[in-house]
Structure 1
Amino acid sequence: MTTHKTGTREEWLAARLQLLNEEKDLTRCSDELAQRRQELPWVRIDKDYQFETEQGKASLADLFRGRSQLLVYHFMFGPDYQAGCPSCSSIADGFNGIAVHLANHDVMLWAVSRAPLAKLQAYKQRMGWTFPWASSVDGDFNFDYSASYTNEQQREGIEYNFRREAPFKERAGQPGGDGGAVAQFAAMCGTDTPAYTRERPGLSSFVLEDGVIYHAYSSYSRGVDGIWGMYQWLDRAPRGRNETGVWWRRHDEYPQLPESAGCCAQEKVAK
């Protein structure tokens, strides 16, 4: 028997209506925050960033592809990685379906990583993705937008998510600092913990107006939860995220689920 609170349909409806009011309050707050994001001052970009793409070398302006807005997902795939970050991969699984809609609403969506283009292309093919993905391997783009760090920065303590972290050696000595999920993900990417954590996830938005590119917004760490489609569904599931550790994998690494007995029974009835 379940240990979860149960009740009548009337009791459920009363509780649901109360929750609905709170959900509406949250939605209104979210709308207000979105408006404040759009009201942030734009910062002019004069630096000549260069990228490697499937179509050849490209500038930051080229990534707009005729649109006036550009969204960049900072995908954790460093030069030393042998595969993309599992968390970033889970997030990117949602890009294929929405990229075309954004492109037809004056917004280009790109993933950008520091790994060489050949690695990105091979991984993209493995994952079955179609969204555009650029390499910034020889440029400053990732470093300038707080998505990559040097060995020296890591030793001194990086500034990520607008806050300064302790030097890597000190962090490594803390519980979970170089073990647990971080070490597991590093191994899944075919690299070590220091190299893995020199890359960080995030998203940045840019706007092109009158031939000038401006940086409009960036968000990191839990700030990208909103675009992680898997969690938006889990937050509405009966047991929520229900996590005790790292459970997700790249979508081609899960064991094949057995056929449902119920489905088999239905098929037999149908026959």
Structure 2
Amino acid sequence: MITTHTTGTREEWLAARLELLAAEKALTRQSDELVRQRQALPWVRVDKAYRFETDAGSASLPDLFKGRSQLLVYHFMFGPDYKAGCPSCSAIADGFDGFVVHLANHDVTLSAISRAPLEKLRTYQRRMGWTFPWASSAGSDFNFDFNISFTEAQQREGSIEYNYERGGHAMDATQVPEPVAQFAATCGTDAATYTRDRPGLSAFVLEDGVVYHTYSTYARGVDGIWGMYQWLDRAPKGRNETGVWWKRHDEYDKR
């Protein structure tokens, strides 16, 4: 079979590669500037006394830092009515265990936080074979205050504010995108319940006993920590997607 992709000589490839290299370097410099702007954001003091359930017992937000000055929170989609964690969040979280130890030795604690009860999180974590810190915010305003979880009333009224945009009415059966319905089913719930929790990442700093919120990103803002996509973006055929193809890592056919 003859490929339909452009082919060429090594010299032609090198010329094209050097042109791409210039673009990659420009993107790297732009990314460095974005990092600088991100770190220059004003810090917002967090005064509310949030409580979480953890493997070590009831914990405050400062407790989640585990003695370090920085805390990165992955808002894992696992609502209280889910039977299993979101497959997309699960694919992202597959990389956490490898990074946790490095971050911990650079004054950064990485923790997932979800609204599901701690025992559900523990059961799912055992199933997935993960060991990274995972706290339950059940009964807390934490997820709602950081615009990562929403009420049924917000859905009905279309007053959801997610990814710094307002909107999001409740979906009826004819409005549910197929991937959303598919993911909801794999979590053992319906689309409306499934979408009351969303993915995101938030950063906090602890200074002189005071916690400050420094950054949050949502939706495709978490692409950068989704390890499999960073690899696929460098593969010959890229993401090469026509729909949802990924599953939880224990749901693939063994080959």
TM-score by length of 2: 0.98
1:154 CA drift (Å) = 1.0
- The aligned residue for residue 226 of structure 1 is 224
Which residue of structure 2 lines up, in the alignment, with residue 162 of structure 1? Answer: 164
2:67 corresponds to 1:66? yes
Query: The residue matched to 1:99 in structure 2 has which SS?
Result: helix
User: Could you say which structure has the larger radius of gyration?
Assistant: 1
Partner SS, residue 13 of structure 1: helix
State how far apart, in whole Å, the 2-side matches of 1:207 and 1:213 are.
6
How many residues align? The count is 253
Give the match's secondary structure for 1:254.
coil
d(CA) in 1 for partners of 2:168, 2:214: 28
Q: Does 1:240 align with 2:238?
A: yes
- Superposed CA deviations along residues 232-270 of structure 1, whole A, max 9, x for unmatched, are 00000000000000000000000011xxxxxxxxxxxxx
Deviations 1:108-137 (A, max 9, x none): 000000000000000000000010000001
2: CA distance between counterparts of 1:166 and 1:62? 34
User: 1:167: Cα distance to partner?
Assistant: 1.6
One-letter code of the match for 2:238?
A: G
State the identity as a percent: 72
Cα offset, 1:173, TM superposition: 7.2
1:51-92: per-residue Cα shift (whole Å, max 9, x none)?
000110000000001100000000000000000000000000
In structure 1, stretches of 5+ residues that fail to align are 258-271
C-alpha distance in 1, partners of 2:65/2:106? 12
Task: Give the residue type in structure 1 aligned to 2:169.
Answer: P
C-alpha RMSD of matched pairs (Å): 0.9
Give CA-to-partner distance per residue, 1:13-70, whole Å, 9 cap, x none. Answer: 0000000000000000000000100000000011000000011000000000110000
Over 6 Å off, 4+ runs: none
Q: How far apart in 1 are the matches of 2:41 and 2:31?
A: 16
Paired position in structure 2 for 1:110: 111
Superposed counterparts of 1:1-271, under 5 Å? 1-157=2-158, 158-169=160-171, 172=172, 177-257=175-255
Deviation at 1:179, TM superposition (A): 3.3
In structure 2, distance between residues paired with 1:131 and 1:173 = 36
In structure 2, distance between residues paired with 1:191 and 1:100? 34
1:168 is paired with a residue whose SS is coil
**Any unmatched runs of 5+ in structure 2?**
none
Cα distance between partner residues in 2 of 1:73 and 1:34: 18
Alignment partners' CA distance in 1, 2:169 and 2:241: 29
